[in-house]
Structure 1
Amino acid sequence: MYSVPRSTDSDCSTQGLQTYQDVKEYYGKCLKNSKDLKTNACVAPSRQLPKHIRDALKDVHEDVSARYYGCGLVVPECLETCSILDLGSGSGRDCYMLSKLVGQKGHVTGIDMTDEQVEVSKKYIGYHMQKFGFQPANVDFVEGYIENLHAVQIKDKSYDVIISNCVINLSPDKRAVLKEAYRVLKDGGEMYFSDVYSNKPVSEELKKNKILWGECLSGALCWKELVQISEEIGFSPPRLVTSSFITVDNKELEEILSDYSFVSATYRLFKLPQGKAKEKWQVIYNGGITGCEEELQFDANFTFKEGEVVKVDEELGAILKNSRFADEFLFRPCEKGDLSSKCQPKQEIIRDPFQLAQKARNQHQAPNSGSCCGPKGCC
């Protein structure tokens, strides 16, 4: 059983409750597969996919993949034996792919509020477990709201990783989603998610457009709001991974959107232990993470090559040292007053997804074969 999220200032109104019904209707009944989308709003280029991820995706049943709507591929690194929660799991495509990657000792839970989608995802548990050779099953699905994980008995500090793929923009209460994610993450845990962001706060009038909300645009956060909300809740500052401009090819919707711009971006948030001192480090990637044996592209700002010494600031140092990545690096302290190049700031940190998307556009970087979206979109 599940219940409507507890009343909050932002979602207890009639408009907030109506949003849930509109989204359920859109994704449960209006959309039968990704070809039914009216815009390409959620098409997002992804990095070239490692072979182990491509192989895992190939093993997902075609009926599950056909009802997949997402704006990126949310597969962080170093997942073996991890417990993962997928917020807005839909048909279960990402869950099944991740269930293979975490292995028999890991576990994946998907939660979605649309009963038609949950029904599809549950239908193929046996198929995938037989395909992967896992017994007992290492994946399960629950019907519920991502704003209220309490209602489906998800406990504090119970997951290593949380993922979400183009879903938070559909929620009328983003703060509640992030607050619940923080609660159920273990110390050192990560929230790794793709979503849509606007260049400025979306007007109340635009938020009432059901099609634009269902197509993941009018419910988007301004990226600066994400930074503010996540840090207020307790996460470390968001680390930008990828970003791409969204193109709306529908003339009518384009006129309605006027001077709004949107990007599809992937961020990673970490829940770090409280009270631990932060310091600068020289770090050396040991290599060997599956799919990143020689190079780990951690975010848009830092790529670690095996055996190479890289200076990181207090923020990134705390993330690497207190997360599942700790055993993947060697750490050397930067002494106070050290003026060597290895302990000096390396580069400007890009947090603005529009800046990163523009940089990619300027460099003529086109979407590559790593894109995981359908022909018209995959939101």
Structure 2
Amino acid sequence: PPLPPGQTYYGQVLKKSADLQTNACVTAARPVPKHIREALNKVHEEVALRYYGCGLVIPEHLENCWILDLGSGSGRDCYALSQLVGEMGHVTGIDMTESQVEVAKKYIEYHMEKYGFQTPNVTFHRGYIEKLEETGIKNESYDIVISNCVINLVPDKQQVLQEVHRVLKHGGELYFSDVYASLELPEGIRTRRVLWGECLGGALYWKDLAILAQKIGFCRPRLVSANLITVRNEELERVIGDCRFVSATFRLFKLPKTGPAERCQVIYNGGITGHEKELIFDANFTFKEGEIVEVDEETAAILKNSRFAQDFLIRPIGEKLSTCRGCSALESKDIITDPFKLAEESDCTKSRCPPDVAGSCCGTSYS
């Protein structure tokens, strides 16, 4: 029988990252911390060459975590993560493309020996990310699920998110990069094979992510980073027309059912590997060691009920942590939720565009 389009594209058409027609699947999301760069440098060359992700999907505070990588491909991120979780943690990779899973499995022994691990802490399975039960993934068995430019390849995105919600422990999160569209995609874009392979044809309209996530039971999506996608192919540009695409990283937390949340003041204790002095939690909240930050109800609930609980001192607003000199007040904060606006702001910062340019993205207040 014919292979699914994505499987053919990633298994046969693409042999290396340089074969891609857009930058959708190879966009760097933000500067890579030193400890992660070192972990990536230890990954075998063949595994790294077969990497087609659209951003680095390695969150913080990983020691001893159980992590599931959806669409793990050649295993690059899995092998980097297996070092970071340590021998007591575990990383599972799932991919639908047999040739990619074969490349990943081929190097298990190589990496375990390189890391000095007695027992392998990484496994790879061929399977479908919308059917995790078929691969034997149990309920509430993972602390973190990651995915790198893959969910857009699955037509039924709600089913994928439901499966992720099922396998995550309470307090766990889906931390993932993917491609989003600026509008609902017309049929002409959705049916082009190369656009599916390049991560564009199946891109979700960005506003639909929040609707799906909250319908399933996740907290609202937290935008981490975003980059505008450029198309290096004139024919593809004509097909796309006015539709724009962005590669964005979001985090979706699954929280236990608790009582009503309240606004809090929090202090980051510091010490998370690679983020000892400053934790950039998402595009809206950066926590510096020892500084008081006022957070909304949901952010407070996430910090209290996730793996970050031990990293913060958390008090309700009524119980002031200390005199609030220099603390970050929530009232004056504009919460950024639109990945296109964040990407434009980021581009402006990079190019230092003057704030008085008409229609400029600089100085825009987001809501």
When normalised by structure 1's length, the TM-score is: 0.89
**Whole-Å Cα distance in 1 between the matches of residues 22 and 344 of structure 2?**
21
Instruction: Report whether the alignment pairs 1:193 with 2:179.
Output: no
Q: What is the deviation of 1:179?
A: 0.5
Aligned residue in 2 for 1:271: 254
Q: Secondary structure at the match of 1:363?
A: helix
Deviation at 1:166, TM superposition (A): 0.3
Q: CA deviation at 1:42?
A: 2.6
Identical counterparts, % of pairs: 60
Partners of 1:43 and 1:246 within 8 A in 2: no
Partner of 1:186, secondary structure, is strand
Equivalent positions of 1:62-73 (< 5 A) are 62-73=45-56
Cross-structure match for 1:317:
300
Residue aligned with 1:364, SS: helix
Structure 1: tracts of 5 or more residues without a match: 1-16, 367-379
Shift of 1:107: 0.2
Query: C-alpha distance in 1, partners of 2:76/2:330?
Result: 43
Select which of 15, 18, 24 maps to 1:35.
18
Pairwise CA distance, 1:276: 3.1
Match of 1:291 in 2: 274
Match of 1:363 in 2: 349
CA offset digits 1:127-182 (Å, max 9, x no partner): 00000011210000001000010101100000000000000011111111111000
1:125 maps to 108
Q: Which runs of 4+ in 1 moved over 4 A?
A: 340-344
1:350 aligns with 2:336: yes
Q: Give the counterpart letter for 2:47 in structure 1.
A: V
CA contact (8 A) 1:284 1:331 kept: yes
Kept in 2, the 8 Å contact 1:28–1:114? The answer is yes
User: 2:202 aligns to what SS in structure 1?
Assistant: coil
User: How far off is 1:39 after superposition?
Assistant: 2.0
Deviation at 1:242, TM superposition (A): 0.3
Flag the structure with more relative contact order, 1 or 2, with Cα contacts below 8 A and sequence separation at least 6. Answer: 1
- Structure 2: which 5+ runs fail to align? 353-367
- How do 1:17-36 residues align onto structure 2 when only pairs under 5 Å count? 21-36=4-19
- Determine if contact 1:87/1:163 at 8 Å carries over to the other structure: yes
2:147–2:175 Cα contact (<8 Å) kept: yes
1:178 maps to 161
The root-mean-square deviation of aligned C-alpha atoms, in Å, is: 1.9
Trace 1:1-379 onto structure 2 (pairs within 5 A): 21-335=4-318, 344-364=330-350
- How far residue 230 of structure 1 moved from its aligned partner, in angstroms, is 0.6
- 8 Å Cα contact 2:26-2:52 kept in structure 1: no
| Pairwise CA distance, 1:50 | 1.6
1:80, 1:101 within 8 Å by CA — same for their partners in 2? yes
Q: CA deviation at 1:105?
A: 0.4
C-alpha distance in 2 between matches for 1:217 and 1:290: 34
198-207 or 67-76: bigger deviation? 198-207
Distance 1:342 1:205, change over 3 A: closer
Checking the alignment, whether the CA contact within 8 Å between 1:70 and 1:166 is kept in structure 2 is: yes
Q: Distance in 2 between matches of 1:234 and 1:207?
A: 28
Aligned residues: 349
Q: Is the 8 A contact 2:283 2:336 kept in 1?
A: yes
Check whether the contact 2:17–2:26 (CA below 8 A) recurs between aligned residues.
no
The range that moved more, 198-207 or 347-356, is 198-207
- 1:77-106 C-alpha deviation (Å, 9 max, x unpaired): 000000000000000000000000000000
Q: Report the secondary structure of 2:302's partner residue.
A: helix
Distance 1:255 1:174 in 2: 27
SS in 2 for 1:42: coil
User: How far apart are the structure 1 equivalents of 2:185 and 2:201?
Assistant: 6
